[in-house]
Chains A and B, each alone.
Chain A
Amino acid sequence: MTVKHLVTTSYSTVDAFSGTSQVENELLEHGYLVVFDEGKYAGILTPHDVLCRPHKLVIDCLTQKEHVHSDDSLDTVLNRLNQTNAKALPVFDDGRYTGVIVRDDIVVSLQNRTKSLQNRTKELREKLQLARQLKNSFLTNLSHEVRTPLNGILPLIETLSELQEEEDAQSYSPELIELLETTMNRFLRVMEDLIELSLIESGQHIELLTTEIDLETMFEELVSETVRQPQFAEKKLAIQSQLRDTTLRLETDEIKLKRVFAHLIQNAMKFCTDESVVTFGVKRIESTKVSFFVSNTGDSIVNRNRIFRMFEREKNSPTHFSEGLGVGLAISQKLVELLGGNIKVLQENLNQTMFEFSVLLKLDDGQKE
């Protein structure tokens, strides 16, 4: 760090041929005076100069002072000031006088720098702490989410292989097969979330494939995929899509848009009450954007401010956190941002939660990578 920004031309000056008794008071007040002889720099007068060489005229009292350059480092200048015990030193660049550097200004600058470094250190420490917490949270979630289905799958496979040894094929239990399938699907979802998360974190997910989308078809696909999910049948849910304007034309990345809906619908199914309805569709059309929604009935979200954070999970019972890694909403948020929009959660009333997100009607070239 150089001292360029500390060089000042704001100081008290005195004529070289002034009497020392004239400038006494001013000299004591400021600690130094810059001396000029017919507009040309002549030197810096200090009380020490006047004491050591007590002459009538200022110019006769001046002693040669070490000078510094504006490109000199803070340390170099500070050492020079300490060695000479001077309050200020002249600055010369390319042989020309450009100003003075004052000890007090350096001290203040160092104090500010120290404070700034302390704040930065504190900030980094907090970020590190958060990163550690996230890492721990992730590892805990991951460990549980991977182990749980595997703990279910392995015994099932053992049982099936035992049954296979029996010659009677009707011994196979369809429930076992179904359970195996459900457990495998849960495991697969965790793996898909992990892969999607790693793509987003590594920046590979920013590539956008824009096509014209048929919303009606997409909504039908979402409904049919949802009803096949075990949770849908277990909780006896219903799903409803809303698309009033079937002529709505949207040009965006269909895969990413569908992933957003899939995550939000998955989330809604997790938290809605049994025998309730999950609804999704178009909420509002504006000049450049379209807003979509996914809503469900169920308990209200406790941590609305943190719900989009990675690995943040709500409890779906008084004692248990919901299933999953806690990355679905965070991934949805990132995908929505890629599509030029934003996402928020609305609490319509105590028993109804709605996620609303917007995307651009037409992705600009600037949005494409």
Chain B
Amino acid sequence: MKSQKPTKYTISLSFEEIRLPPFEDILIIGKKCPHGKIGLSRSFELLVPNEFEVFEVNDSIVGAVFINRRILKKLDKDKIIEVLKEKVFPFSSESEILKVDFKLKLFYESIEGKF
């Protein structure tokens, strides 16, 4: 008669803080990603009202872009989307949602004045 050894198990456990919404700056939504811009927009509106704006883009892969309003205060949306198109869109795919950290710093070359 065989003796039954007790079953052992191990759990790999980790946790981290998650903030909602799960992004601060910019979200890029692929055209065929499971979550559409309307559903996302409504849920963000419920969580953080009036913090983001949604823009549809004319692109073969990306359907829409969520941009934090505080960034829009500093830089025009067309300029932001131009940067994204050049630097981020080529790396995104249709079924993905990409979170983009977009930290803007402004530099003035010289500030002149009279006393």
Contact = CB atoms under 8 A, between A and B. Distances in A.
Interface string B26-39: 00000011111111
A59 to B, nearest CB: 5
Interface stretch (A48-56, A232-240, A298-306): A48-56
Nearest to A19: B39
B42 interface: yes
B22 to A, nearest CB: 16
Contacts of B34: 54-56
Interface residues of A, number: 9
Interface in B8-54: 32-39, 42
Nearest to A61: B36
A59 B39 contact: yes
A54 B38 contact: no
A53 B33 CA distance: 9
Contacts of B35: 55-57, 60
Contacts of A17: 39, 42
Given A53-B36, A55-B36, 6 more contacts: A17-B39, A55-B33, A55-B39, A57-B38, A59-B39, A60-B35
Interface of A: 17, 53-57, 59-61
26 contacts: A17-B39, A17-B42, A53-B32, A53-B36, A54-B32, A54-B34, A55-B33, A55-B34, A55-B35, A55-B36, A55-B39, A56-B35, A56-B36, A56-B39, A57-B35, A57-B36, A57-B38, A59-B36, A59-B38, A59-B39, A59-B42, A60-B35, A60-B36, A60-B37, A60-B39, A61-B36
Across the A-B interface, give the 6 residue pairs with the lowest CB-CB distance, nearest first. A60-B36, A57-B39, A55-B36, A59-B38, A56-B34, A60-B39
